[in-house]
Amino acid sequence: MLELDVLLEAFLEQHYSEMPPRMQRQFIQLLEFPDPIIHAWCVGGEKPDDEEFAELVASIRATSVA
């Protein structure tokens, strides 16, 4: 999923080094989910059940509109 790769790479380059360690760990954990789930959350507008992932996904979505 090229669109997802581009979005996650942009987020990684722009924000990862500035994120608190907790969110950095969450980002790594996020990448363990299957691509269709990550795509649904980050591009498709679905919200993760886990509030901590929801916060991260909101940050990733904000990158896509910046």
39 sits in which H/E element? helix 35-42
The domain that holds 19 is classified in CATH as 1.10.150.250
Q: pLDDT tens digit string along 38-52?
A: 999 999 989 999 998
- 63: three-class secondary structure by DSSP: helix
| Neighbour count for residue 8 (Cβ, 10 Å) | 20
Number of domains in the chain: 1
- For position 66, what pLDDT does the model report? 59
- 1: three-class secondary structure by DSSP: coil
Question: Which domain does 21 fall in, by range?
Answer: 2-65
- For position 63, what pLDDT does the model report? 84
Average pLDDT over residues 46-66: 89
Tell me the whole-structure pTM to 2 decimals: 0.87
